[in-house]
Structures are given as structure tokens and as C-alpha cells.
Chain A
Amino acid sequence: MDKSYGRGQILKVDLTTGTVSREPIPAGLARKHLGGEGINSRLLWEHFLKVDRRTDPTSPDNVIIAGVGALGATGYGAGTKMKWTFKSPRTGMFGDSSSGGTFGANLRWAGYDHLVVTGRADHPVYIWIHDDAVEVRDARHLWGMDVEPADHAIKQELGHADIETAIIGRAGENMVTYASLQVSCHRGAGRTGAGCVFGSKNLKAIAARGTKGIHIHDPNRFLEAIETFTTAVNKPQRVRDAWKNVGTLGVFGYYNRSGLSPFRNNQYSTVPQDKVDKLTSRWYTDNLALRRLSCSPGCVTGCAGMYKIKGHESPAAPKYAGETGYRMELAAQIGWGSMCDIPDMPALAHLWKMTCAYGVDVIEFSLSCSFLMELWERGIIDQRDTGEWMGEPITLEWGNYEAVLAVLESIALQKNALGQIFKDGIYKAAQRIEDLKGVPILPYVIYGKGGLPFITEPRSNPSWGVAIAVASRGADHLKGAVATLERFNRPDLSTHHYGRPEAAQFATPTLKGMDCARAENRCAVINSLGLCSFPIALDTVLYPEELFAEALTASTGVPMTGQEFRLAGERTVNLEKAFNARLGLRREDDRLCERWLDEPQVDGPGKGARAKDFLEPAKDEYYEAHGWDRKTSLQTRKKLEQLDMSDVAQVLTRENALIP
């Protein structure tokens, strides 16, 4: 009985046959991979040993795995972040996406830490998890609904107000490859196309209500661990002043001062001051903020919120007067506000609301818009093209938020030719437009690994540059970049880890690859525990692994050490790397777009910087820090054996993807 303390089961649902099964988490697996992202990645790895690894991600053979880490939903102070893991239909490689929301907590309270969905239903269905009762129900009446109405309909149908859902919008139904999965309606698992996998499985939603709770081995010791941790979370001034008020919106001003806010499709790196003033978190709290909220249970930071548009705040506001909704994140502020040059927060708030309703990844979608706008500025596309593609001659000038809405509808609802051009992501869209136009336009696309776009300025920020080039799920910040020391200037932590402060020095290449490798291991630990990276991933001194180990020991009764946690994080990074290596990804796939590589930054403190100057040496350093091969980027047998992953090494050897 002791084994089940602090842990749930793995729930498996096969949509083809409609069968449901449960199995306990093997103790060895929990120790080696902790939970959350770690166990998810392991389950994905095992699934793709049974089915062909080259299988089409939209086929029934793909799998989508939900997982909440062992400290998620326990009130441990850093919320409940869950992971959705699958083979990505967007990039064709390892795919995962995290989300907040109360759904993950209900999954755990119902007794399941992981949910594995395979197969494909022959008509739209949804999964209803009510403690021990799990059923696959008809969702034909929900198909075609936006996220919020579908959520409402499910709650009414099942008769509980406290049901939480993970739902796809119409973009997911139409299998747009970067469709998001909307968890508890407003927390999107956006990146790499979880919504598309749902759509391909004819799965509209998963609804959960958990009343069984989580057994804790030593409640008093666990309460003490919570108190220690929450005190630490509330300690930094930056948490109290910025995170608690405005969450991710708060870093925009800092980014802009540091020349890290890409402007007009990243042709520039700082936003003109008059526009900055209308995009800051201060403008938001003064004009739109209604109240703050926690996105998920057990978060003492509470960086989410609600807004209300009164109608006189900005030129766009009268149109949306009276609208309330959940607050946008930094992705909207940079993605539309500065990349598309829309310095109008009410418009951004409305765009955010609509992308949540249709279920689209905001990052990829907003960069698709800024890309189109740059093509418009350069005269490569004009009204004839938009007329042909969208049915009406829409102008795509900078700042035209109505055009952005039109593009959103084209893509999410797959209404017209433009929607089809952008269905498979920005990189393929650029190739398609290039074929249509016969002029080179790939230099204007912003992307990193996997052709996945990302909203940042990595040229003068080498640690983010290398992180975006190597991240296992394609260009992204949550796999490592957020825990690197350079961007938030932490020489103290650099000295702590490396004995010298250079890893935190801005715009220099020293130690950046090594720091990225360390940060990846760190982020894997946080994501495996079901906690939120934002307030805690960076500061390894204030929130050391030992702190989490103590809490997990108290809750599960299985003694664990901080060192074991660090190893578990490294194992997860290696497993994701191995998954990609099996698919044939090598060093040359760890790349950045031409704009970042070759074009020097034109303004800001990092003026003149370009990624070409640091990327290759930083990658060398990164592979070496992970103990991987420099030339091919492949893992070595020695490293995998050190991590007790000989079985993975065996598979890789068979497929010629390991350095002996």
C-alpha cells in the first residue's frame, strides 16, 4: 500500500476499440524519471518501440500522453503544470507542450498521474474520467464548437460544475498542425500541435473530475515542506512586484531595454518608445486589469488574470467595449504587439481570446502574421494575392489587427487557400509561397530547430540562441532557455555553478553552451515534478533540487536526494534526444533561421550581433557538456550507461544512432 503514497496510476485508453485499462507506475520508473515530462517521455519512447518510429504523426498509431508530475496538484506552491507528449505533427519529431489549468489537478485527484490515449475513434468522441469511472462518450454534437461553448456543453451534459476539460477548437478539428489544446479553456498547450493529434484521433475533449485525492505519506512533514518552499517563492522582489501583478507581461519592458524585443518580424530588436508605452504591463494594469487569478491549483504566484475592455482606452477598444476574458501572456505582447506592430492592448486581448476560442498556438500564428506583413512591406504579396487566397483584398500592413483576425479565421477554420498554405506551419508556408511567387522568401522566416518559429531576439543573447537551436521539441524556451543565466543577469549563480561569472555576461559566447546544457537538465526536473518553470527554474540556489527532494520524500515516503533529481532530469533530456536521434536528427538539424544567423542586429545594446558568430562553438560546448559527440551530436554509449540507460543505448546502436 505504501507504494501508492503521493502517486497515481497510468490510465490507458484505446480509442479504436474503446477499451480502458489501468496500471501502476513501476517504482523503478518513478525513481528514474520522477513523473510528468520524465515518465511521459519514457512512455512515448516505449510506444515507439512497438510501432514504426517513422509513422505519420496524424495516423492512429501516434499516441498522446498526458502527465502531471508528483508535486503537481499537491499545493506545493508552484502550481500544477501538466505535460502533453506525442510525436509532433508540426515538426515530425519529439513533441510536447505544457499547460496550467485545473484539468491536470483533477486528473491527479481522480487517481491518475498519466493518461495514454492511442488509436482513433470512428466518430468524434470525448473521454470522461470521474474517479474510477472512465468512459468514451459520443461527441458528435460538440464537433464544430468553439472551446468555451464545448466546455459549457460538457459540464451541462455531465451535471457537475466543477468538471475540468481539455478541449480542441476548430483548428484542431481541421488538423492545423499547430492547433493548441485548450486546458480548462484558457490555458493552452500550444506548441508542436497537441490539438492536431487530438483532431487526428477524432478526440474532441477529455473531461475530468477527481474526488479521490492524493494520499500523502507524512502530511505534517509535507506541510512544512510547502511552507519552506512558498516562503522561498515569495522572497524575491521580482516575484512580488512583477510576477504576482502581471506575470509574463512584466518582462516586456526589460526585454525592450535590453534590445530583446523583436520588432516588425524581427527586422529590428527594439520597439519605438511611443509604442512601448502602450504595450507595457503598466499600461495593462492601469487600463485593462480586472483581477488577478491563479492558473492552476496550488500556485502562490498567481500570475494569470482577467481583463475588461471599457471601450475608450485605445483606437481598437470601442469595437470590443464590454469584453471580458482571461489575460494575454507575453506571446501576444511580443507576437502581435511588437512583431506585427499592433501597439493596442485591447486589440491584442481580443486576438488572444479568439485564438483561445479556435485553439491555435499563439506563437506560431502570430509569427505567421508578422511574416505575411513583411512580405507585404517588401511588395512580394499584394491585394491581388490576398484577394485570391482569402476571397477579399485584405491589406496586410503593419498594425492591421483586423487583417490578423481574418488570417486567424482563414487558418483555424481552413476557410480558404491561405488557410491551406499555412496549415503545416510557417516554414512549409514559406516554401509554398516561394513556389507560387518564384522569389526567395525563406530569408524572411523566423524559425529555429524543426522549422518552428519563436518570439525572441537570440542574436545578442547566445544562451537563448543555442537553446532555441537545440531544444528537443524544436525552437522553444521552456526546454532550457528560461533557466539560462544570461538573459536575467545572474552572475552570482554563474559563480555558483562554474566558479566564474561569465555565463551571465550579456552578449558574449563564453560558457553559454555549457549553461544551456545545465539549464535543460534543470527544466526537465521542474517539468517532471509538475511545477511551473517561470518563477523557480532560474534560481538554483533559492530553489535547489534538494528542496523538491525533501517534499517528494515527505509525500511518497520514498527517500530521494537532490542528486538523484538532477540525474533524472538529465535522463529525460537524453531520452528526448534519443527519440529524435532515432528519427535521423543530427547536428545540422540544430539550426537557426537565416535572419538570426547572417543578418546583424540593427539596433539595441546588441547592435551588430549575429548568431553565426557564436552558434557553432556554442553547440560544440553544449554537446560536450551533455557528454555527446561533437561531430554528429549523437549520444555516446558511455554517457547513456552512466545514466543507467543501456536499453536506450541498445536501441540506438541497432539503428546506427549512437557513438560506441
Chain B
Amino acid sequence: MYSNRHLRREALSTTRLLKADAEFCDGCRMCEIVCSLRKAGMVNPYLARLRVARSEEGIPRPTICRHCKVAKCQLACPEPGAFYEHQGTGALVIDESKCTRCLKCVEACPFAAMWVGPGGEVLKCDLCDGDPVCVKHCPYTPENSLPHLPYPRQSCLKYVVRRA
């Protein structure tokens, strides 16, 4: 069961840019905190562009923007050009100057990976110009491997470059 799921995930991951593997998430929320530090200049998980919630049993559930190829958020947006693909990273980002804060994109996201900040602004991952600070600080990485547990070479947050 384990391995099949992982094979499937690996195959899917090559078409995406950033993914979080709940299987390996500690729930330490480093990603949320450093994201808010980078993006909002303060420590506040409610301003982060990704979230780690906990299920009722206490299992961490990371949610992160997948930068979908066919993005429901982009399709829902009534403002032409408000969503565009970042030239360097290929990330799907929002042009703040064109956004009217109608929040249709937030409603449309099937993964609930977009949030609303205290000023009504849309909080969406933009891949930090190709150097995602969350990935950098995720402690569950192969370098800090866990020889006793299954899949010691796996990491939780991954930055996968899109296939050419």
C-alpha cells in the first residue's frame, strides 16, 4: 500500500512545482512561520501562504499551492491578466495591482490552498522567486534522515522543477 501510493505521488509530482507530503509532515509549522517572516515580515501563521492544519486525530495536514497547469483560480478570476505565469519560475502568481479582492479565486481553489489576509488580500504562494523559504526550512529532509522509520530518504516539502 505504502509503495504504490508513493509511486503514484512521484509520478504526479513531476508536473508540479511544490508539494507537501503529509505522510512525512511533523506538524512543526516551520514552513508557515518562515513564510510569514519572508512575506509579511512578522511571525504569524495566519499570514502564511501555506498552512499546516491538524486533523481531529492530531495528524498534520499541510496544504500548499500546487501551481496547477489548468488552474481553477485563474479561470475564476474576472480580471484579465491578474494571474500570470512568473517568467523565471513558472509559478502562477497574482498581480497585486490588478487584483480587485473579489476572492473568486479563493472560492474556486479545489485544494483550499488560498487564504484571505486581514486586509482582504489574497494569500497565495509565489515560490519566492525560485528559492522557496519553506522548503529551505523544512526539517524533514534526507540530510536529517531517520534510519529507523520507513522511507528515510523521503522529505516532506519538496521543490520539483517542472518537466520541460
Once A75-B43, A223-B37, A227-B137 are accepted as A-B contacts, the answer to whether A289 and B149 lie under 8 Å apart by CB is yes
Instruction: Give bound CA distance, A306 to B144, whole Å.
Output: 20
Specify the chain B residue showing the minimal Cβ separation from A281.
B148
Contact B139 A241 (CB under 8 A): no
Which A residues between 282 and 299 are near B, CB-CB below 8 angstroms? 282, 285, 289, 291-294, 297-299
Choice from B36, B136, B140 contacting A227 with Cβ under 8 Å = B136
Interface presence of B121 (CB below 8 A): no
Q: A572 interface residue, CB < 8 Å from B?
A: no
Residues in A with CB closer than 8 Å to B146 are 240, 244-245, 292
Cα distance, A300 to B143, chains bound together (Å): 13
A285–B146 Cα gap in the complex (Å)? 11
Chain A residues contacting B118 (CB-CB under 8 Å) are 211
Q: Does B112 contact A (CB under 8 A)?
A: no
Q: Is the CB of A297 within 8 A of B149?
A: no
Q: CB of A302 within 8 A of chain B? A: yes
Nearest chain B residue, comparing its CB with the CB of A152: B56
Using a CB-CB cutoff of 8 Å, which residues 265-279 of chain A contact chain B? none
B147 at interface (Cβ–Cβ under 8 A)?
yes
Smallest CB separation, A223 vs chain B (Å) = 6
**Which residues in chain A, 188-219, are within 8 Å of chain B measured between CB atoms?**
211-216, 219
Q: Does B44 contact A (CB under 8 A)?
A: yes
Q: Is the CB of B143 within 8 A of A216?
A: no
Interface residue B10 (Cβ < 8 Å from any Cβ of A) = no
Q: Are B28 and A299 in contact (CB under 8 A)?
A: yes
CB pair A109–B45 under 8 Å, yes or no, is yes
Q: Tell me, yes or no, whether A383 is within 8 Å of chain B by CB.
A: no
Residues of A within 8 A of B45 (CB): 109, 213, 297
B144 touches A213 (CB 8 A): no
Given A216-B41, A285-B148, A294-B29, 14 further pairs, Cβ under 8 A: A74-B43, A109-B45, A211-B44, A213-B36, A214-B42, A214-B43, A215-B42, A219-B38, A223-B34, A223-B38, A293-B26, A294-B27, A299-B139, A300-B30
B33 CB contacts on chain A under 8 angstroms: 74-75, 297-298
Q: Which of chain A's residues has its CB closest to B44's CB?
A: A213
Contacting pair A240 B38 (CB below 8 A): no
- Which of B41, B148, B149 contacts A219, CB < 8 Å? B41
Number of interface residues, chain B, beta carbon within 8 A: 38
User: Which residue of the partner chain, among B41, B59, B137, contacts A291 with CB atoms under 8 Å?
Assistant: B59
Give the A-binding residues of B (Cβ under 8 A). Answer: 26-30, 32-34, 36-38, 40-47, 53-54, 57-60, 118, 133, 136-137, 139-140, 143-149
Chain A, residue nearest B40 (CB): A213
For B29, the chain A residues whose CB sits under 8 A away are 75, 294, 297-298
Contact B26 A292 (CB under 8 A): yes
Contact residue among A211, A282, A301, A302 (Cβ-Cβ distance under 8 Å from B46): A211
Cα A324 to Cα B60 with chains together (Å): 15
Cβ contacts under 8 Å, A289 to chain B: 148-149
User: Which residue, of B53, B58, B140, B147, has the highest number of chain A Cβ atoms within 10 A?
Assistant: B58
Asked whether A285 lies within 8 Å of B149 as measured between CB atoms, the reply is: yes
A293 and B60 in contact, given A227-B136, A230-B137 (Cβ under 8 angstroms) = yes
> Cβ of A121 < 8 Å from any Cβ of B?
no
Set of chain A residues within 8 Å of B145, measured between Cβ atoms: 240
Which of these, A245, A302, A306, A326, contacts B139 with CB under 8 Å? A302
A146 to chain B, nearest CB (A): 16
A230 to B148, CA, bound (A): 22
The answer to whether B139 touches A234, judged by C-beta atoms less than 8 angstroms apart, is yes
Instruction: Check if A154 is an interface residue, CB within 8 A of chain B.
Output: no
The reply on A166 being an interface residue by CB < 8 A is no
Docked complex Cα distance between A294 and B40 (Å): 24
Q: Which 9 A-B pairs have the closest CB atoms?
A: A213-B44, A75-B33, A294-B28, A300-B139, A302-B26, A297-B29, A214-B43, A294-B26, A219-B41
Q: Which residues from A are CB-within-8-Å of B147? A: 241, 245
Query: What is the CA–CA distance of A459 and B10 in the complex, to the nearest angstrom?
Result: 54
B28 with A324: CB separation less than 8 A: no
> Which residues from chain B contact A246 at a C-beta distance below 8 Å?
148
Give 9 CB contacts A-B under 8 Å: A74-B33, A75-B29, A213-B43, A246-B148, A292-B146, A294-B29, A299-B26, A301-B139, A302-B26
Most buried by A among B34, B45, B60, B148: B148
Residue A158 is within 8 A (CB to CB) of chain B in the complex? no
